[in-house]
Amino acid sequence: MTSAAQGAEAAAAAGVDTSSLPFDYDAFLAEQLRTQVKNIQRYERDGVWFWIKRTGPLVPAWRYNILRVLRVLMNEPVLGPVINHGGREAIATEVRRLKDLASRGIRVPQVLAASEDGFVMSHLGLPGQEVHSLGNQIRALVPQGPQAVMPLWQQGLDIIHQVHESGTVLSQAFARNIVICPDGELACVDFEDDPTAVLPMPVCQVRDALCYAHSTAIYLSHAGALEPARAAWREWLALPEHGAEFHRVLGNTTRRMKWAKYLPANRKLGRDTERLRAMWDLMGK
């Protein structure tokens, strides 16, 4: 039991009103880690939502399938997954990365308590309300056309720029790992791995760009937004944070994927090939 929990218990035993005492997240974490079955679970206390993420089994292989497919199809070693082995290592990495990103001004869940076997993080939405991923929201707006899709898609580019400008990168910059907060601003989630621990910074930045392009280009295509998105993409690439090595790595990748322009711009050969064709139409033209 933590000292805070012991103090609260003693106060309650002495008949002192403890309702105004701060909630002891450390004690709650220790208690829930003994019984929580799910790797991540939401809790509520006095109308406040928060989450506990605990150690679990080895990270399932499917988590890295997209990166593996891209690596093979594009002949691009940069896209090889940065393996997260799960367990205490993943918990320690995520806690460290969340705190680091927050210190750089990037909006992420706040770490409220942590131990070797799990941690408590804040809810990014309002109490009683879920938050939606950027990917799902862009997809939902596709029927409304470019005017609806482009502002959200540009926000995604902007937050990746903010992360790069701060001197770091995301883990897997797919649009599913970026969420829309109640005030309309974006936040980033899921940091169980750290690409910068095994790859040079420019390569990690390219990795962010490729992950975002791959996860969103198909929605841009369906919304008829590829033309304005290409212009925004070129402007983003020209930002000073993207130095010569970034452009060299990205240029090599673009040259390797030229064959993608011959893929059908539909689902005739499956969803994955349609995604790659849309990605080429965004990046390669």
In the predicted model, is pLDDT for residue 60 greater than 90? Answer: no
What would the DSSP string read from start to end of 177-190?
GEEE-TTS-EEE--
Closest CA to 50 of 137, 110, 3, 133: 110
**Model pLDDT for residues 90-130, shown as the tens digit of each residue:** 999 999 999 999 999 999 999 999 999 999 999 999 988 99
Beta bridge partners of 111: 121
Report the distance separating Cα 29 and Cα 26, nearest Å.
5
Report the distance separating Cα 119 and Cα 116, nearest Å.
8
Residue 30 pLDDT: 97
**Model pLDDT for residues 186-201, shown as the tens digit of each residue:** 999 999 889 998 888 9
- Residue 285: CB partners within 8 Å, gap ≥ 6? 230, 261
Instruction: List the alpha helices (DSSP H) in 51-145.
Output: 65-73, 87-103, 134-141
User: What type of residue sits at position 8?
Assistant: A
User: For the whole prediction, is pTM greater than 0.75?
Assistant: yes
**C-beta separation of 252 from 265 below 8 A:** no
Residue 278 pLDDT: 94
Beta bridge partners of 52: 41, 120
Residue 112 pLDDT: 97
Report the distance separating Cα 23 and Cα 25, nearest Å.
6
Phi, psi of 40 (to 5 degrees): -140, 135
- For residue 107, how many other CB atoms are within 10 A of its CB? 17
Residue 16 pLDDT: 40
Output 2 or 217, whichever has higher pLDDT.
217
Structure token digits, residue 145:
């056309």
